[in-house]
Amino acid sequence: MNEIAEEIRGLAWLEDQVRLEIDIFRHNYQPWVPLPATVDGQPVYDVVIIGGGVYGLGLAWGLMRSKVTNIQVVDRSPAGREGPWATYARMKTLRTAKELTGIEFGIPSVSARAYWEARFGSASWQAISHVPRPEWMQYLEWFRAVLDIPVSNETEVVSIDGDAELVRIVTRRDGEEQTLLARRVILATGLLGSGGPKVPTGLTDHLPPDRWAHSTDEIDFTRLHGADVGVLGAGASAFDNAIATAENGATTARLFCRRAELPWFNAKKGLENAGFMRHFADFPDVYRWRFAKAILETPIAPPRHTVERALALPNFSLELGSTWTACRMDRDKVAVATPQAEHRFDFLIFGTGFDMDIGRRPEMAAIAPHMRRWRDGFTPPDGENSDLLLSQPYLGQAGEFQEQTPGTCPVLGRISLLGAAATLSIGPMFGGLNGIKFVLERFVNETCRALTLESLDTFYDVFTARFLEEKADGELGSLD
């Protein structure tokens, strides 16, 4: 007996389902944040979100679901290239399990599963273990379009400043600058937005810029065909770049790890439960410190399937217990010194992670010096010091910055950070999608709470004004 072919319903059908579910769960409330007075004729947004990747889109949709609709998302990348998925992420699939959700906010039909099954069928969804990276980016583009999330692409944030009442964001697009005004700003800028790429000090000082790249740079791997390439780092991104190099025909893709063996233990796995993810920001400081310090000091293991894929390539090799101590040009080659030997390459790739110094971000120059850091109010227990963690911003319940000296930069309380440098305050939510549901819910709830509390006078005026209304002739009972 032949099996009946599965019906593939398609995205048009799914989009009808999205509209139906939104209508079913819409409740009767309307946008509620009081409209602010314009400033010099310019409108004021309730929330501006900087970053149009998965966190920025999910946050925008969460606010829209909570009837905060006077919002704007800005992203410096062209449409379809926000975040890492179409740029420097080079793995074949996401590393997060396909079942983890987080940006739907109660509408199942906008989930990755619903999208996949509408396009490819439920059997296809059951057959995959992880969502392929290119399809994930296509899903995010569809998510943005079907929900009509307002995103301004190719818009670079030049500076952020303001006062106790408003945040001023200077942006640049097509060479022209514009100032956006907002009650609240949320930096959904991921790993890069918390500082930038990290390259070991001194290793690139004597190298031409066309002879090396960081793993977050856009690299034309086809140009490395026939080249000898050295890769520094033992994390997933270092392996991904080495694999891409080898698969594009490099003569050699040699990955160097300073440790004698590859990391194998994922410290975060023991913490990935709903209670921990939802309430990390509520922990006493000493517990937040101890969890974050342990995670920071435990090397992140590359996925086993990624390592096995690399080792199966004949032009890939792994150098354990071998770090780079110096790099220089030797005629037409890059000479890399290690404690064991000197190697020569045509090109180098640094898979050495990200910095977490928010002060490095040029758009934060006006406000970063006034931020309260963990060192300003927390003393680590004996033997548990970390200069890196002590330099991190000490954030509030909504991820908002706080002043080092009260009254010197009050706009800080209106700006929240949803990125890697928030890890110590908010939790380890930013190296994957495992905690996205909980951190987005927190930011939406706390942002709405702040907007509500600062609007109480308006709410009360609207409420009491009804007591002054006159009864119309013949009116019997309330129509409300």
Triad 400, 402, 405: Cα angle to 5°:
170
Residue 278 lies in a domain: no
Same-domain check for residues 26 and 49: yes
Identify whether residues 20 and 163 lie together within a single domain. yes
Tokens matching residue 7: 């019906």
447 burial (CB, 10 Å; 0-12 / 13-18 / 19+) is buried
pLDDT band at 1 (very low <50, low <70, confident <90, very high): very low
Structure tokens at 314: 């004949």
pLDDT of residue 4: 58
Write down the pLDDT at residue 431.
Answer: 66
Mark whether 43 and 164 lie in a shared domain. yes
Specify if 118 maps to a domain. Answer: yes
pLDDT at residue 3 greater than cutoff 60: no
Tell me: do 342 and 360 sit in the same domain: no
Q: Average pLDDT for residues 23-37, to the nearest whole number? A: 84
Domain interval for residue 215:
199-263+299-352
The structural domain count of the chain equals 2
- What span, in angstroms and rounded, lies between the C-alpha atoms of 106 and 111? 10
Contact assessment for residue 361 and residue 197, using Cβ atoms and an 8 Å cutoff: no
Residue 294: pLDDT over 50: yes
Residue 466 domain flag: no
Tell me, yes or no, whether 467 lies in a domain. no
**Contact 422/443 with Cβ under 8 angstroms?**
no
Same domain, 213 and 340: yes
Q: Are residues 333 and 448 in the same domain?
A: no
Distances (CA, A) of 204 to 100, 107, 221, 326: 39, 48, 20, 9
Could you report the per-residue pLDDT of 117-149, keeping only the tens digit for each? 999 999 999 999 999 999 999 999 999 999 999
- Does residue 170 share a domain with residue 96? yes
The tokens describing 348, both together, are: 């180098």
- Is-contact 94 240, C-beta < 8 A? no
For residues 147 and 61, membership in a common domain is answered with yes
Q: What is the mean pLDDT of residues 20-46?
A: 87
Q: How many Cα atoms are found within 13 Å in the side-chain-facing hemisphere of 401?
A: 34
Among the three residues 352, 369, 395, which one is the final residue of a domain in this structure?
A: 352
DSSP assignment string, 335-350: EEE-SS-EEEESEEEE
User: Is there a single domain that holds both residue 123 and residue 250?
Assistant: no
- The pLDDT, as a whole number, for residue 301 is 84
Q: Domain of 343: which CATH number?
A: 3.50.50.60
Mean pLDDT value of segment 321-348: 96
Residues 410-429, mean pLDDT to the nearest whole number: 92
Burial environment of residue 312 by CB neighbours within 10 A (0 to 12, 13 to 18, 19 or more): exposed
- Alpha helices, DSSP H only, in 80-176? 112-120, 122-127, 133-146
Q: 182 near 48, Cβ under 8 Å? A: yes
Q: Is the pLDDT of residue 288 over 60?
A: yes
- Please report whether residue 469 resides in a domain: no
Provide the b/e sequence for 205-227 (b: ≥16 CB within 10 Å). eeeeeebbbbbbeebebeebeeb
Residue 102 forms part of a structural domain: yes
**Same domain, yes or no: 184 and 213:** no
Among 337, 352, 367, where does a domain finish?
352
Q: pLDDT tens, 308-330?
A: 999 999 999 999 999 999 999 99
Q: Do 146 and 41 lie in a common domain?
A: yes
* Average confidence (pLDDT) over 153-179: 96
Question: Are the C-beta atoms of residues 163 and 367 closer than 8 Å to each other?
Answer: no
Whether residue 398 contacts residue 406, with contact meaning beta carbons closer than 8 Å, is answered with: no
CA atoms within 13 A of residue 128's CA, in its CB half-sphere: 23
pLDDT tens string 241-286: 999 999 999 999 999 999 989 888 776 777 778 898 899 999 999 9
d(CA 155, CA 160): 14
Q: Is residue 281 part of a domain?
A: no
pTM passes above 0.95: no
**Same domain, yes or no: 251 and 367:** no
Beta-bridge partner residues of 72:
48
| The pLDDT of residue 281 | 93
Amino acid letter, 84:
P
d(C-alpha 169, C-alpha 73), whole Å: 12
- Most confident by average pLDDT, 4-13, 87-96, 383-392, 461-470: 383-392
CB 232 within 8 A of CB 238: yes
The answer to whether the CB of 430 falls within 8 A of the CB of 67 is no
* Residue 311 host element (H or E): helix 304-311
Mean per-residue pLDDT for 369-384?
A: 95
pLDDT in tens, 144-158: 999 999 999 999 999
What's the chain's average pLDDT? 92
DSSP secondary structure letter of residue 132: B
pLDDT of residue 445: 96
The angle subtended at Cα 188 by Cα 186 and Cα 194, nearest 5°, is 105
Contact present, 213 and 219 (Cβ < 8 Å): yes
**Model confidence at 480, in pLDDT bands (50, 70, 90)?**
low
Residue 300 binned pLDDT confidence (cut-offs 50, 70, 90): confident
Does some domain include residue 92?
Answer: yes
Q: What is the percentage of the chain residues whose pLDDT exceeds 90?
A: 72
* 458 φ/ψ angles, rounded to the nearest 5 degrees: -65, -45
Element (H, E) at 173: strand 167-173
Quote the pLDDT of residue 419: 87
